Structure 1
Amino acid sequence: MRNIKLVIEYDGSRYDGWQKQQGNPKSITIQDKIESVLSKMENEQIQLIGAARTEAGVHAYNQIANFNTNTDMKLYEIKHYLNRFLPRDIAVLEVSEVPERFHSSFNAKAFRYEYKISMGEVPSVFERKYNYYSFHKLDSLKMRQAAKHFIGKHDLKAFSDNKRMKKSTERTIHKLDIYSDINEIVITIEADDFWPNMARIIAGTLMEVGAGNMEPDFIKEVIDSKDREIAGPTAEARGLFLQEVIY
């Protein structure tokens, strides 16, 4: 039995996220699409394990996944087969063979996401699927000041939409960088783990600071409160990209 690792890029615009949804036959997910092609490749049932469970509408530059197979196909043949039969909005960038115990999710040490915001005078027709458009100029300096409060290990319950979340809501944010120019702001967040919507709520809260609706130092109070109602809105999915999984 071989353990095969994939590096995958996808446009999440028309998908219901990465993970297949049991009991919802109408859902279309990235995992569903790739598993379907893999299962036909050698007529065997394939279970694909993804590193990050990106949400509906979220994109990825470098999603990592692995699967077990009995195929004798060469790695380049697997790559060519997948890219031939997958939809054009999903691409397999790399295929490699890894040790039997490699698990794309459990072995991951950190995840890096980026959130893209456009602020041009007129929204770009071509970027509308991949950037959030802000009708207000955002103050990137204040956003950077606010970002400092996230660094380190915190209970980030205020940035979870799941009120019944039973697992620990403590996370360690390693980096939170904000790049800006006249027309764009890019928020990059690296943490040991993310739960659904966490990156988007952090981005939405930072945008509230940039818009002048929240002071930078108020972020500390939001974190300490553990109250989702005090944090900012959940930013739209289209601006979020999984940039890298770190092992």
Structure 2
Amino acid sequence: MRNIKLVLEYDGSRYDGWQKQPGSNKSITIQDKVEAVLNKMEEEVVELTGAARTEAGVHAYGQIANFKTNTDLKTYEIKHYLNRYLPRDIAVMEALEVPERFHSSFNAKGFQYVYKITTGEVPSVFERKYNYYCFHKLDVSLMKKAAQSLIGEHDFKAFSDNKRMKKSTVRRMKNIEIKTGINSIDIILEADDFWPNMVRIIAGTLIEIGEGNMAPEYMEEILASGDRSKAGETAEAKGLFLMDVKYE
């Protein structure tokens, strides 16, 4: 049996996230859409595994997924078939044959996300679906200072919305960059893993610091407290993109 790896790009605006939700007849996910086309291609049930469980409304430049198949189709034929039948807001950028033991989620060593913010006097009509618009001018120097407190291995419980989290919330934040344009701010985060909403809570906290509602030194107190209520609001999903999944 062959193991096929896919690199996917998608606009998550109209989807309930990546992962299908068993028992729900109303949810529409990226996994549902891709599996439906694979099932049609294979004429049998295909199970697709994704590296990152992106949330409802979150986008991706580089989601990774894999599936097992007995098809005789070449990888470029699989790619072309998927792109022919998938909706236009989901695209397969690459299809590659990988070793049988490759697992897109278990083998992942890191994830990189970007949270996109726009500023300026008037919100852009064309960017409204893919950026968080901030009505206030942000002090990026304060945001950068606060972000440094998150680098390294920490317990990120304060940045998780899941109150019933039983697994360890310790994660290693490898890097945070904050890049600015004329009317844009990109917060780029890379860690060994992220919990649901973690990036958006960090982004929301950094936005509040940039607005002057929190001192940058307060980030260390939030981190040490493990208390979600001390962190900022969860930033809107539409500004978040999965950029890359890292493998050895």
- Paired position in structure 1 for 2:9: 9
Give distance in 2, aligned partners of 1:160 and 1:42.
39
Shift of 1:189: 0.4
**Structure 2: how far apart are the matches of 1:114 and 1:159?**
16
* Displaced runs of 4 or more, over 6 A: none
In the TM superposition, residue 181 of structure 1 has moved relative to its aligned partner by 2.7
Q: Aligned-pair distance for 1:84? A: 0.2
Do structure 1's residue 149 and structure 2's residue 143 form an aligned pair?
no
1:180 Cα deviation from its structure 2 partner: 1.2
- What's the offset of the Cα at 1:182? 3.2
Aligned-residue identity in percent: 72
SS in 1 for 2:91: strand
Q: Is 1:137–2:133 an aligned residue pair?
A: no
- The CA deviation string for residues 32-87 of structure 1, in whole angstroms up to 9 with x for no partner, is 00000000102011000000000000000000000000100111110110000000
Cα shift readout 1:162-188 (whole Å, capped 9, x = no counterpart): 001000000100001100133110000
Report the AA paired with residue 138 of structure 1.
L
Q: Deviations over 1:82-123 (max 9, x none)?
A: 000000000000000000000000000000000000002110
* Structural mapping, 1:86-235, within 5 Å: 86-235=86-235
TM-score, L = length of structure 1: 0.99
**Which deviations, in whole Å up to 9, do the C-alpha atoms of 1:210-246 show, x marking residues without a partner?**
0000001110000000000000000000000000000
Q: Which amino acid aligns with 2:197?
A: N
In structure 2, what residue type is equivalent to 1:13? Answer: S
Match of 2:55 in 1: 55
Scaled by the length of structure 2, the TM-score of the pair is: 0.99
Which residue of structure 1 aligns with residue 18 of structure 2?
18
Q: Report SS of the residue matched to 1:241.
A: strand
CA-based RMSD of the aligned residues comes to: 0.5
Alpha-carbon distance in structure 2 between the residues aligned to 1:7 and 1:169: 28
Aligned partners of 1:182 and 1:32: how far apart in 2?
38
Aligned length: 247
Could you tell me which amino acid in structure 2 is paired with residue 68 of structure 1? K
CA distance in 1, matches of 2:36, 2:3: 18
Q: Matches of 1:111 and 1:84 in 2, distance apart?
A: 29
Query: Displacement, 1:137?
Result: 0.6
Determine helix, strand or coil for the equivalent of 1:61.
strand
| Partner in structure 2 of residue 82 of structure 1 | 82
Structure 2, gaps ≥5 residues long: none
> Aligned AA for 2:181?
D
Residue 2 of structure 1, CA deviation: 0.3
Q: Which amino acid aligns with 1:184?
A: S
What 5-or-longer segments of structure 1 have no aligned partner?
none
The match for 1:64 is 64
* Structure 2 SS opposite 1:189: strand
CA distance in 1, matches of 2:136, 2:42: 53
* Equivalent position amino acid for 1:223 in 2: L
